[in-house]
């Protein structure tokens, strides 16, 4: 079947549709740069979605737990051996994604007789200054999107991940409008919660297509926070410490968020 090119294209399209459906309910993840670090945030009730990869690199993921685990291990193994043989400063997220993870995802996706990865990943690497922060999204087919300036966007100090493309785009639209560089932690936390809410409301066929009003975000957020747990972690912009990743206790988050 795959000897015929158009059949192969068809098979790939079917597979993309299948994976999209599988991932469609994934809870959004927001990564937001602020003055003293990068904040990762998501809401949920089931499994852990935020992970430490290396000294300055963190990852958020949605998808099948088994696939996320395989990709997470691959990323940690590569970063750890690189950091061991050279130094922690030589471990680069750019290389990790372009050289290692993206080809693996692409190959698995295009070999139609094998199983693809049911996962979408969001990475961040903390820089010395906010303009050096790198946010990188890796899709199930190996496609990479970063926060760098392109024809379509100016440089962004955030990265988002969601179950559907429409939801991710709306979150980006919201953050592009509301976010400004140099925010405090408290401001970043509130924005991240709001961006999560926007992404969540945009999920599903009945999801919103345009940005909701301020009031709707606030009331929905309060309601949501009553039943779901906040999962959050930061990469600290402190040059004096080597391991920058730190998970944030939920009580502290709720106090800071003022809910």
Partner 1 sequence: MEDFVGLLRRTGHIGPVSPIGPVSANADVPLTQATTILAFKFQGGVLVAGDRRATAGNTVVYDRADKVLEIDRHSIMAIAGVPATAWEMARVLEHSFQFFRRTQLQEMSVDGKVRALSQLLRDNFGAVLQGLGVVVPIFATYDSASEPSARLYFYDAMGAQFEVADYAATGSGSPAVRGILYYENNWGKKPLAKLSEDEAVTVALRALDTAAESDTATGGVDRNAKIFPVIKIVSREGITTLPEKKIAAVFKRSVA
Positions in the binding site for partner 1 (CB under 8 A): 48, 51-54, 73, 76-77, 80-81, 83-85, 243
Which CB sits closer to partner 1, 22 or 247?
247
Pairing of strands 37-44, 245-247: unpaired
CB of 79 to partner 1, least distance (A): 9
Which CB sits closer to partner 1, 66 or 182?
66
Among the listed residues 42, 235, 49, the one whose alpha carbon sits nearest the alpha carbon of residue 125: 235
**Which burial class, exposed, middle or buried, applies to 162 when counting CB atoms under 10 A from its CB (0-12, 13-18, 19+)?**
buried
Which CB sits closer to partner 1, 7 or 86?
86
CB of 228 to partner 1, least distance (A): 21
CB of 57 to partner 1, least distance (A): 10
- In whole angstroms, give the CA distance from residue 182 to residue 107: 39
Which CB sits closer to partner 1, 46 or 154?
46
CB of 245 to partner 1, least distance (A): 9
Strands (E), the chain: 29-34, 37-44, 50-54, 57-63, 119-125, 134-138, 144-146, 158-161, 229-236, 245-247
């Amino acid at each position: 079947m795959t000897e015929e090119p158009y059949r192969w294209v068809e098979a790939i399209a079917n597979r993309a549709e299948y994976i999209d459906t599988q991932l469609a309910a994934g809870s959004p993840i927001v990564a937001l740069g602020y003055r003293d670090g990068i904040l990762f945030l998501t809401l949920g009730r089931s499994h852990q979605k935020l992970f430490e990869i290396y000294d300055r690199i963190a990852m958020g993921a949605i998808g099948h737990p088994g696939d996320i685990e395989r990709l997470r291990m691959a990323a940690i193994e590569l970063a750890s051996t690189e950091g061991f043989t050279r130094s922690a400063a030589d471990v680069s997220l750019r290389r990790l994604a372009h050289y290692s993870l993206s080809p693996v995802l692409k190959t698995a996706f295009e070999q139609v007789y094998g199983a693809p990865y049911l996962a979408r990943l969001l990475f961040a690497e903390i820089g010395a200054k906010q303009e050096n922060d790198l946010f990188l999204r890796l899709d199930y087919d190996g496609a990479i999107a970063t926060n760098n300036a392109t024809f379509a966007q100016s440089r962004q100090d955030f990265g988002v991940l969601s179950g559907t493309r429409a939801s991710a785009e709306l979150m980006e639209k919201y953050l592009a409008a509301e976010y400004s560089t140099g925010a405090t932690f408290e401001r970043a936390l509130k924005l991240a919660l709001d961006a999560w809410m926007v992404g969540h409301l945009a999920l599903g066929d009945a999801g919103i297509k345009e940005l909701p009003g301020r009031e709707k975000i606030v009331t929905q957020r309060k309601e949501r926070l009553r039943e779901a747990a906040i999962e959050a972690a930061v990469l600290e912009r402190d040059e004096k410490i080597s391991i920058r990743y730190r998970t944030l206790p939920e009580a502290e988050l709720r106090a800071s968020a003022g809910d």
